[in-house]
Structure 1
Amino acid sequence: MIMTETLSTSRRDEMIDITRKVSSLVSQSGVRTGIAIIYCPHTTAGITIQENADPDVKHDVLMRLDEVYPWEHPKYRHAEGNTASHLKAMTVGTSQTVLIEDGRLVLGTWQGLYFCEFDGPRRRQYHVKLMQG
């Protein structure tokens, strides 16, 4: 089964913690052992696993991505003007796979799942596929 979740972003670049929502979907599904695939169907957003204890990590990640992929560059040619967003999404990736054991996501102590917005603010979706096994 595929579940689709919708969220609204508020800034051009942000990382939104979706760990609780995905954990809730796992709990409600009845899947005890298996995998969860969390997928982003957008070309200017992504999904990552990152530290969820210190909010400065999100700040630092977004800051560094901005340094590597500046919003404006004299050689960018994409007409929409959001080339940096595409590059950031490509770097972060569109999906994460997380193990499920005892009906819970198997994440490290400091890990969380994040929806990464790089071209906001927008209304976005991500999909969660749970597989028993």
Structure 2
Amino acid sequence: MEFTVETDAELTTVDVTDRIAAAVPDDCESGTCTVFVRHTTAGVVVQEDEPRLRGDLESFLRELVPDEGHAHDELDGNADSHLRAALIGSDVTIPIEDGDLALGTWQSVMVVECDGPRTRTVTVTTVGD
């Protein structure tokens, strides 16, 4: 299953938990759900969906990877986005228990946009036991 995510800023997060949960087939009682973003300048994380923490994550990525001074910038000016996405990773795998995503109380699945605004494609694959 695939869906798209519209982002509205260069560096931002979008909660996609409900869309991922809806992709779990009704007959899948246990297994795994893999969420993959098909882009080299975006990633996926499991993290708390709290506005201040989301802002902290964005600030952390900006501090960790400077906006300028990278060789790839000579090509298209977005090396910082590629490096931030490489740190985040392009996929997460979540257990399925009793037909639901086995996320902790405060856990959400979020797409992290590093080169927006853009339209991103997210792929969800489930495997049942």
TM norm structure 2: 0.95
Specify the SS of the correspondent of 2:76: coil
Give how far 1:31 is off. Answer: 1.2
Q: Following TM superposition, by how much is the alpha carbon of 1:30 offset from its aligned partner in structure 2, in angstroms?
A: 2.5
Runs of 4+ in structure 1 deviating by more than 3 angstroms, as ranges, are none
Distance in 1 (alpha carbons) for counterparts of 2:7 and 2:27: 30
TM-superposed CA distance for 1:29, in Å, is: 4.2
Give the deviation of 1:66 after TM superposition.
0.3
Specify the alignment match of 2:37 in structure 1: 40
CA distance in structure 1 between the aligned counterparts of 2:27 and 2:9, rounded to whole angstroms: 35
CA drift at 1:125: 0.2
Does residue 106 in structure 1 map to residue 102 in structure 2? yes
Q: Secondary structure at the match of 1:72?
A: coil
Offset of residue 57 of structure 1 = 0.5
Post-superposition Cα deviations, 1:83-109, rounded to whole Å, max 9, x if no partner, equal 110111000001000000111000011
- Identity of matched residues, %: 36
Question: Pairwise CA RMSD of aligned residues?
Answer: 0.9
**Residues 28-77 of structure 1 deviation map (CA, whole Å, 9 limit, x = unaligned):** 4431111000011100000100012x21111001101001112122xx12
CA distance in 2, matches of 1:56, 1:30: 37
Structure 1 unmatched runs, 5+:
none
- Could you tell me which residue of structure 1 aligns to residue 55 of structure 2? 59
One-letter amino acid of the counterpart of residue 62, structure 2: D
- Equivalent position of 1:121 in the other structure: 117
Partner of 1:95: 91
Q: Does residue 81 of the first structure (1) align with residue 77 of the second (2)? A: yes
> Which moves more between the two structures, 29-38 or 10-19?
29-38
- TM-score calculated relative to the size of structure 1: 0.92
Partner of 2:22: 24
Which residue type is aligned with residue 20 of structure 1?
A: D
For structure 2, the 5+ residue unaligned runs are none
Distance 1:66 1:29 in 2: 40
